[in-house]
Chains A and B, each alone.
Chain A
Amino acid sequence: MSNTALNTSVLIQATALNRYYGDYQAVSDFNLTLNKGEILGLLGPNGAGKSTTIQMLTGNISPSSGEVFINGISLIEQPESAKSTIGYLPEQPPVYRDMTVSEYLIYCAALRSISKPQRKNMLAEASERCGLQDVHNKLIGNLSKGFQQRVGIAQAILHKPKVVILDEPTVGLDPIQINQIRQLIRELGEDHAVILSTHILPEVQAVCDRVQIINRGETVFSDSFDKLADRQSTSEVIVSFANDVDVSLLNELSGVEKVEALTSQPNQSRYQISYQGNNDTADIFQLAVKQDWNLLELSPQTETLEQIFMNLIHSESASKLESELNQESAAKKPEARDE
């Protein structure tokens, strides 16, 4: 506990985490410091090592090397007391289908050594936050996937843990619920440290303060979300006009790198405009008005997660390519590492 006295706000500290499955290295040199009041988005393509990382942070598997401190307590040396401050929702909500919602949540509270009189209050609070009041006495097995997911979330926040770790919490929920859960995560972020693993980029944009992107077990990006947007080398806008346009005028706009014709129908012309760096679409609009082109569509292309990954991974690998190649040929690692 001496560590907590020194810096009270650091709730998760992971240093140099490595994890091997046999010869295969699933996670390499993962570092993380998360303070109270921060929400971290953990992103990565399938098989990047997100789940392995999360399992190491929750004590479900041990790292091959490295250390994890939860609220200043070593997860490896004192797993029981460290785990009591974690709330964890795995990919698959760990619910017993043959129990009712309230039975299950009371059991979860008891497992975390919550005293009997407090359990009822916590149950009421968590089920209100997750919208479970109406299904208290139903068997979990009879609930829909969305409700089971909510029970899983309720289980994770039930005992008011300092650290909440959610692995894809909004899977299977309807849009209204997704909003409620995001709201809930934001609320949790105020006085907890939250780690959110997800595939959905808008979700990270909506709730996270920081992003950490993992690819092939290595952290390729770790900073605030704005910085991630800045790093994009290009951005794209799709425009279409009712009248014929002079492409060279579009090309002359500041920052425009490339203008590509998408369709060439007689009464409509559609172009994709690639920008260097961040774009300012007001230019296009003004130009269209001045030239009387009748602007029909102007839609900035939001980049998909895949594109961001590709960009990041591409820029990372360009700088690292040489050293990596050397390493790989020296270690003679197998080439196919899709997972």
Chain B
Amino acid sequence: MNNILTVAITEFKRMFNSPFAWSVLAILQFILAMMFLTRVDEFVASYQQQIATVENSPGATFFIVSPIYLWAGIIMLAVMPILTMRSFAEERMNQTLTLLRSSPLSSAQIVLGKYLGILLFVTLFVAMLGLMPLAISLGTEIDWGMVATSSLGLFLLLASFAAAGIFLSSLTSQPVIAAVSSFGLLMFLVVLYLSGSSQSNSSELFIYLSHFSHFETFVRGVIDTSDVLYYLLFIVGFLVLTVRKLDNDRLLG
């Protein structure tokens, strides 16, 4: 356990050794803040008057905060592969993976360490996103329960992106290939969602398989255990595959 934490914390720190993590966080925060601002403007200009007269209407959280969490998930489709490509592909390319491989760590400890490192980054990102509803809570009443479920949902969604990305990163020694293939896989799941929910031939199965359908319930303020389970299975599945891949490298590589 100590070893896992050592790897995780060092991985997390290393992201901030280069301008990489700083620029990713800064750009994400800037873009999401701009979107947030647009939503706030829109809300003040039009929705506010409309819902003022409606009994039991959805409030500012529904109109402003939820869409930001959805957008954050969509943007991370492109960003997460860049974060995860480093974990194994880049180490292989720089031939630094030998350090971890010859240290007294099992493959599972290496994978979990690296994965936890990325989860720390994800946590930081979700926390920074939480600053936005906090900012407007000065002027209006925020449904904190909904913010909490959205944060949890976003965290699980990004954790599933990371697990898939780490697996694809373990398959190759080319970071770019790792990033492109992770992006491809994540987009494929989005395509499943789009095709599953198309009007002509909708498919329950396709919708179930895509991770965004499970994210939506969280953003609506609902925690459904089946959705939580979906993400956990997704994460565990890809992490087990990654561990197997590393073990296989010893046998075949």
Shortest C-beta distance, A168 to chain B (Å), equals 13
- Chain B residues with a Cβ under 8 A of chain A: 2-3, 6-7, 10, 14, 17-18, 94-106, 249-251, 253
A97 is an interface residue with CB less than 8 A from chain B: yes
Q: How many A-B pairs with Cβ below 8 Å?
A: 67
**Complex Cα gap A92–B91 (Å):** 12
Known contacts A59-B101, A60-B101: does B17 contact A90 (CB below 8 Å)?
Answer: no
Q: Are B17 and A60 in contact (CB under 8 A)?
A: no
Shortest C-beta distance, B15 to chain A (Å), equals 9
Shortest C-beta distance, B229 to chain A (Å), equals 32
16 extra A-B contacts, CB within 8 A, seeds A61-B250, A79-B104, A99-B17: A60-B102, A61-B253, A62-B250, A79-B106, A80-B104, A86-B102, A88-B98, A90-B95, A90-B98, A94-B95, A94-B99, A98-B17, A108-B99, A111-B3, A111-B7, A111-B105
Q: Are A80 and B7 in contact (CB under 8 A)?
A: no
CB within 8 A of A112: which of B14, B17, B103?
B103
Which of A58, A80, A84 gathers the greatest number of chain B CB atoms within 10 Å? A80
Q: Are B102 and A84 in contact (CB under 8 A)?
A: no
**Complex Cα gap A94–B104 (Å):** 15
A327 is an interface residue with CB less than 8 A from chain B: no
Shortest C-beta distance, A21 to chain B (Å), equals 8
**Complex Cα gap A59–B103 (Å):** 9
* Residues of A contacting B102 in the complex (Cβ-Cβ under 8 angstroms): 58-60, 83, 86, 88, 90
Interface SS majority for chain B: helix
Q: Are A97 and B104 in contact (CB under 8 A)?
A: no
The contact sample of 9 A-B pairs, CB cut-off 8 A, is A79-B104, A80-B106, A83-B104, A86-B102, A94-B95, A95-B96, A99-B14, A99-B17, A113-B2
Shortest C-beta distance, B114 to chain A (Å), equals 13
Q: Are B96 and A96 in contact (CB under 8 A)?
A: yes
Known contacts A58-B102, A83-B104, A155-B99: does B17 contact A110 (CB below 8 Å)?
Answer: no
Shortest C-beta distance, B12 to chain A (Å), equals 12
**Complex Cα gap A123–B101 (Å):** 21
**Complex Cα gap A107–B117 (Å):** 14
**Complex Cα gap A112–B104 (Å):** 6
CB within 8 A of B250: which of A60, A80, A107, A112?
A60
Shortest C-beta distance, A153 to chain B (Å), equals 13
8 Å CB interface, A87-138 against B: 88, 90, 92, 94-99, 107-108, 110-113
**Complex Cα gap A92–B98 (Å):** 9
A81 is an interface residue with CB less than 8 A from chain B: yes
Q: Are B98 and A94 in contact (CB under 8 A)?
A: yes
**Complex Cα gap A86–B102 (Å):** 8
* Residues of B contacting A113 in the complex (Cβ-Cβ under 8 angstroms): 2-3, 104
* Residues of B contacting A90 in the complex (Cβ-Cβ under 8 angstroms): 95, 98, 102
* Residues of B contacting A111 in the complex (Cβ-Cβ under 8 angstroms): 3, 6-7, 99-100, 103-105
Q: Are A97 and B94 in contact (CB under 8 A)?
A: yes
CB within 8 A of B6: which of A60, A80, A88, A110?
A110
* Residues of A contacting B249 in the complex (Cβ-Cβ under 8 angstroms): 61
**Complex Cα gap A81–B6 (Å):** 18
* Residues of B contacting A108 in the complex (Cβ-Cβ under 8 angstroms): 99, 103
**Complex Cα gap A98–B250 (Å):** 27
* Residues of A contacting B106 in the complex (Cβ-Cβ under 8 angstroms): 79-80
**Complex Cα gap A58–B102 (Å):** 6
**Complex Cα gap A162–B161 (Å):** 42
CB within 8 A of B251: which of A62, A94, A110, A155?
A62
Q: Which residue of A lies closest to B109 (CB)?
A: A80
Which of B17, B103, B106, B249 gathers the greatest number of chain A CB atoms within 10 Å? B103
In the complex, the 10 A-B pairs of residues with the closest C-beta atoms, listed nearest first:
A94-B99, A84-B104, A92-B95, A98-B17, A111-B103, A83-B104, A94-B96, A94-B98, A110-B6, A80-B104
Shortest C-beta distance, A152 to chain B (Å), equals 9
**Complex Cα gap A99–B102 (Å):** 19
**Complex Cα gap A94–B94 (Å):** 8
**Complex Cα gap A95–B99 (Å):** 8
* Residues of A contacting B253 in the complex (Cβ-Cβ under 8 angstroms): 61
Shortest C-beta distance, B37 to chain A (Å), equals 34
Q: Are B101 and A96 in contact (CB under 8 A)?
A: no
Known contacts A60-B250, A110-B6: does B14 contact A98 (CB below 8 Å)?
Answer: yes
Shortest C-beta distance, A18 to chain B (Å), equals 13
Shortest C-beta distance, A95 to chain B (Å), equals 7
CB within 8 A of B18: which of A80, A88, A98, A155?
A98
**Complex Cα gap A108–B101 (Å):** 12
Q: Are B6 and A107 in contact (CB under 8 A)?
A: yes
**Complex Cα gap A60–B96 (Å):** 12
